[in-house]
Amino acid sequence: MIVTGPNKCYENLVAYWLSGRMERRLPIIVVVRLSPAVDVAIDGEKTFTDNISLHGARIFSKHPWQSGDAVWVTPLNEDSERANVIYSQRLPDNRYVIGVKFQNRIGAWSAMRRYDGVQNRPLAKSSPA
C-alpha cells in the first residue's frame, strides 16, 4: 500500500516494516554452490539465485531444507558466505526455493558491485556547445 499526504513517509515505512522485509531484493541471477555448513564432506549442488540483497537471498534447490539449517553459499569464483535458512518452499515442479539470511553483508559479491555501479553511476555532464 502506497500512501500519499502529510503522513506518507511514516505510513509507508510502517507498511514496509509490516511486510517483513526491511530492504529491497534485487532480481539478480547468480550461479552459486549451495552446501550444508555442518557436513564439509558434501560438495553441495550447483544452482542459482532468484534474487539477492545485502543480507539475504532466495535460492533454488533440488532438495528440501529446514528453517535454521546452516549453509554455505558460494558464487562462482568468489568467497563463500555462511547463511541460515529462513524458509524452504516446495515448487510445483518438485524443486524447492529457500530464503537465506547471510551472517555478514554480501556487498563484496561482484554482482552486487556491478548493480551498485550501474545504479549509482553519475550522469555524464554535457559540455557547452
pLDDT in tens, 111-126: 776 765 544 444 445 4
Note if the pTM is more than 0.75.
Answer: no
**Mean pLDDT within 54-77:** 94
Domain 24-118 CATH superfamily: predicted glycosyltransferase like domains (2.40.10.220)
The amino acid at 42:
I
Least confident of 6-20, 69-83, 101-115: 6-20
Cβ atoms of 11 and 28 within 8 Å: the answer is no
Q: What percent of the chain has pLDDT over 90?
A: 44
112: which residues sit within 8 A by CB, 6+ positions away?
Answer: 26, 28, 52, 54, 106
DSSP code of residue 2: -
